[in-house]
């Protein structure tokens, strides 16, 4: 099965930024997410919502890159949350302990409300 290459969009709001992905989160996909986050950090953003509602598969390398992003956000005393996760990805994040440092929401709207 050929996985869809990751595309993303990013938007910066007053108090947070939202990165919405579409496709497979693997090494190149994870790097795209990291680059977008780091560029937003350079612009002063410390709070992030990663919307994965259009990304149904993430591999271990993609997760390891997300962990690096989480570490950078924590260094900035910021926050990161996920929304739109499949049940499998949400369960994987919980098992791996990512939810100790992040939050998971069903929808982007719920995540925005929590950050506002």
Q: pLDDT (tens digit, 9 = 90+) per residue, 2-52?
A: 557 899 999 999 999 999 999 999 999 999 999 999 999 999 999 999 999
Residue 1 pLDDT: 47
CATH class of 7-115: alpha beta
Provide the whole-model pTM: 0.94
* Residue 36 DSSP code: H
pLDDT in tens, 53-86: 999 999 999 999 999 999 999 999 999 999 999 9
Residue 3 pLDDT: 59
Report whether 37 contacts 65 (CB < 8 A). no
Which residue in this structure is represented by tokens 């260094």? 75
Q: Where are the beta strands (DSSP E) in the chain?
A: 7-12, 17-22, 47-54, 79-83, 103-105
């Amino acid at each position: 099965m050929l996985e869809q290459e990751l595309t993303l969009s990013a938007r910066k709001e007053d108090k947070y930024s939202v990165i919405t992905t579409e496709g497979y989160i693997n090494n190149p996909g994870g790097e795209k997410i990291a680059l977008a986050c780091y560029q937003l950090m350079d612009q002063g953003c410390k709070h992030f919502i990663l919307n994965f509602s259009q990304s149904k598969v993430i591999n271990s390398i993609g997760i390891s890159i997300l962990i690096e992003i989480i570490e950078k956000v924590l260094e900035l005393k910021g926050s990161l949350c996920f929304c739109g996760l499949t049940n499998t990805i949400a369960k994987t994040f919980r098992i791996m302990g990512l939810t100790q440092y992040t939050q998971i929401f069903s929808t982007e709207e719920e995540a925005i409300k929590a950050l506002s």
